[in-house]
Amino acid sequence: MECLNAEIPADGVTKSIETEDIAENVVKADETTLANGEDEAGTPGEEYAYLERNEFTSEIFKVEVKNMGYFGIGEFKKLLRNTLKFDVTKIKAPTRKEFAFVCFRSQEDQQRGLEILNGYKWKGKVLKAHVAKASADPLQKKRAAEDQESEKKPKKQRTAVEATCPLSHIAYDQQLKQKSEEMSALLAKYTQELRKVNPRAKPHLDKFQFHEVLPSPTVNGYRNKNEFTVGKNSAGEVVVGFRLGCYSDGSVEVAEVADLPHLPEQAKWAARSFQDLVRKSKFLPFNPDGNVGHFRQLMVRCSSATGELMLVAGIYSSNLSEDEQAELKEELKSFYEELGKDAPYKCTSLYYQDVKHREAGQTINPVEHISGSTHITDTIQGLQFRISPLAFFQINTEGANVLYQKAIDLVAPTKDTTMLDICCGTGTITLAFAKHCKKVMGVEIVPDAIKDAEFNAEANGIKNAKFFTGNADDFIKSMVREALYDQEPGKPLDLIAVVDPPRAGLHHRSIAAIRSADAINRLVYVSCNPHSAKRNFIELARPESKQYKGEPFYPKSAVAVDMFPHTMHTELVILFEREPKTKADEKSAPAEGAAQSKSEATEEAASEENTASVT
């Protein structure tokens, strides 16, 4: 699956804030003082006004658990969710030592949690539980601190260019040089760590090569997807653009995007036109300081191949009646229909997205088609791809051509090769490999993405592709069995896997599933965040153990592609291969496995909070 919002800081800071998000952001800053017994909720005021809103926040159903000793956040989550069957919204443990905070969905759940956890014996400790006070709103907390330090010189606010394109002031060849040095240093650190974890990796690491960072064919205006925030600038004017900071840092200022080099003119026009609409409308821009207003965000997708432009208007509807929502939808439709007559660009696909607090179990905010076509189409590797509003698609289309070709070149598939695409998204990598392989299979947890993938295969006349909807962990073995079933008797199976996971990398269960699938002999790992993926690289190459069964995958070669010019981010592609098991390996594996199991369990539990399940 292509990485979502993983390439530039702008996408991170444009994330909308809800009442529950406010509490999420402040827990980190405040829970340590709570653990030390400070009554930070003792002073009423604006810092706790969010608790009085007619909206859900689990901060009012928070419990502090003490006397825990040292623990892993992963094992604590399993205790709460699997063993005790608690329905919790958040679990926070800033030090993973002695205490943690647990937020429940209701007072009834909170009371049950208190009764069970207080006095519960776990890991040789008797737990203590009591009601915890809610955390302060970070924005209001910062403002209060600023009022107390009014004589302090104000901190210079970043510009939109500084926040989203920190390398734009550097010549592009120097950007590539800087990124090459960074990737070389990261891989050197990785190989050094792997030598300690698995001494048998040494001969492979001695041959491991990092080639270079390849340039993007398009340096400016390359982003085909952008998520803009509706807010106000420092002068108080309504703006559609990028947030200059995070809510948890006390910042809600939004800056215009006209000067950003990585945005195409279509996207800039979309932001300006939506800004005009919001300024004229009777409906208000959303303000996270109080959760008031309606216009919250705008997602823009554009195609360099067809010129199509998709707009998804994110509306905060909690304070709107059904009639008002209908009126707002009609306003959106009429505005862009009228605008299309004389404007330099045309909105070819318009959606309404209800962006408010998600219900339990809800993973996305629903979208509703308003006008125009339901999809846009773009081209990678000479193939046409239909893209729906919420589908994953590489941000840099021209860069994706280079990226996918390098992945193909590294693994060198033949007409006897079967390829498994784990996290396949809309099938872009799967279908790019199809003409080079006997058969390709992809798995993806998002049903709409699989519908797009199947449509794309049929539209491009590709007959050797098959897609599955579900969690990759559950489908890896079944896909391997299907590949073995299709193989001619007596003929060796050439089975390769490609993974392109979210920014946080693969969950360790996915790595374990890949390791245990002995038929997979080569693996291409495409990472949009190599710093986070380094943990996966180590897990792939660890010695065989109880947790990671199957021979290790050793790194053979790597290449990076600059998918995100002007930013600090780079896409890294690494080819891993297994070494055939020998009799000597079989004898030593059990002893090595026993030595590794305890340390692996501790590391995995500690990293659980920062991993992403396969999607």
CATH for 101: 3.30.70.330
Do 285 and 358 belong together in one domain?
yes
Q: What pLDDT shows up at residue 391?
A: 85
Do 526 and 564 belong together in one domain?
yes
Residue 153 lies in a domain: no
| Dist. CA 335–CA 416, nearest whole Å | 54
Residue 406 lies in a domain: yes
Among residues 320, 347, 379, which one ends one of the domains? Answer: 379
Q: Which two tokens stand for residue 590?
A: 């059990």
Name 395's Cβ contacts closer than 8 Å, sequence gap at least 6. Answer: 7, 222, 223, 224, 225, 563, 564
Give catalytic residues, as residue numbers: 528
Do 453 and 533 belong together in one domain?
yes
Query: Do the Cβ atoms of 452 and 383 come closer than 8 Å?
Result: no
Do 370 and 428 belong together in one domain?
no
Among residues 114, 131, 148, which one ends one of the domains? Answer: 131
Q: Which two tokens stand for residue 576?
A: 């891993």
Residue 109 lies in a domain: yes
Query: Do the Cβ atoms of 543 and 592 come closer than 8 Å?
Result: yes
Q: Measuring CA to CA, which residue among 439, 420, 403 is closest to residue 573?
A: 403
Do 84 and 124 belong together in one domain?
yes
| Dist. CA 377–CA 264, nearest whole Å | 17
Query: Do the Cβ atoms of 349 and 375 come closer than 8 Å?
Result: yes
Tokens 């390098």 correspond to: 406
Do 302 and 251 belong together in one domain?
yes
Q: Measuring CA to CA, which residue among 9, 31, 18, 11 is closest to residue 317?
A: 18
Residue 274 lies in a domain: yes
Residue 394 annotated in ligand binding? yes
Bridge partners for 213 per DSSP: 560
Do 268 and 401 belong together in one domain?
no
Do 367 and 405 belong together in one domain?
no
What confidence tens digit (pLDDT) does each residue in 109-160 have? 888 999 999 999 998 889 999 888 776 665 555 555 555 555 455 556 678 8
pTM for the structure as a whole? 0.74
Element (H, E) at 274: helix 265-280
Report which residue type is found at 547: Q
- Pure H helices in 14-71: 19-35
Three-state secondary-structure class, residue 63: strand
Element (H, E) at 479: helix 472-486
Do 447 and 563 belong together in one domain?
yes
Query: Do the Cβ atoms of 444 and 469 come closer than 8 Å?
Result: yes
Do 437 and 328 belong together in one domain?
no
Instruction: Count Cβ atoms within 10 A of the Cβ of residue 376 and give its class: 0-12 exposed, 13-18 middle, 19 or more buried.
Output: buried
Residue 73 lies in a domain: yes
The phi, psi pair for 132, rounded to 5°, reads: -105, 150
Residue 90 lies in a domain: yes
Residue 500 annotated in ligand binding? yes
Give the residue ranges of the chain where pLDDT is below 50.
Answer: 1-44, 151, 583-584, 589-595, 597-615
Residue 56 lies in a domain: no
Query: Do the Cβ atoms of 72 and 602 come closer than 8 Å?
Result: yes
Report which residue type is found at 270: A
Q: What pLDDT shows up at residue 45?
A: 54
CA torsion 324-325-326-329 (nearest 10°) is 120
Do 547 and 453 belong together in one domain?
yes
List the beta strands (DSSP E) in 256-358. Answer: 295-302, 309-315, 349-354
Q: How many domains does the chain have?
A: 3
Residue 161 lies in a domain: no
Query: Do the Cβ atoms of 1 and 500 come closer than 8 Å?
Result: yes
Do 365 and 472 belong together in one domain?
no
Q: Measuring CA to CA, which residue among 57, 236, 23 is closest to residue 139?
A: 23
Q: Which two tokens stand for residue 406?
A: 């390098």
Q: Which two tokens stand for residue 458?
A: 């049929």
Among residues 107, 131, 155, which one ends one of the domains? Answer: 131
Query: Do the Cβ atoms of 222 and 216 come closer than 8 Å?
Result: yes
Q: Which string of DSSP letters, residue by residue, matches 337-373? A: HHHTTTSSS---EEEEEE-SPPPTT--S--EEEEEE-
The phi, psi pair for 613, rounded to 5°, reads: -65, 150
Q: How far is CA 242 from CA 59, 271, 560, in A?
A: 28, 10, 28
Q: Which two tokens stand for residue 205?
A: 């690491």
Domain that holds residue 487: 396-578
Residue 178 annotated in ligand binding? no
| Dist. CA 267–CA 258, nearest whole Å | 10
| Dist. CA 341–CA 333, nearest whole Å | 13
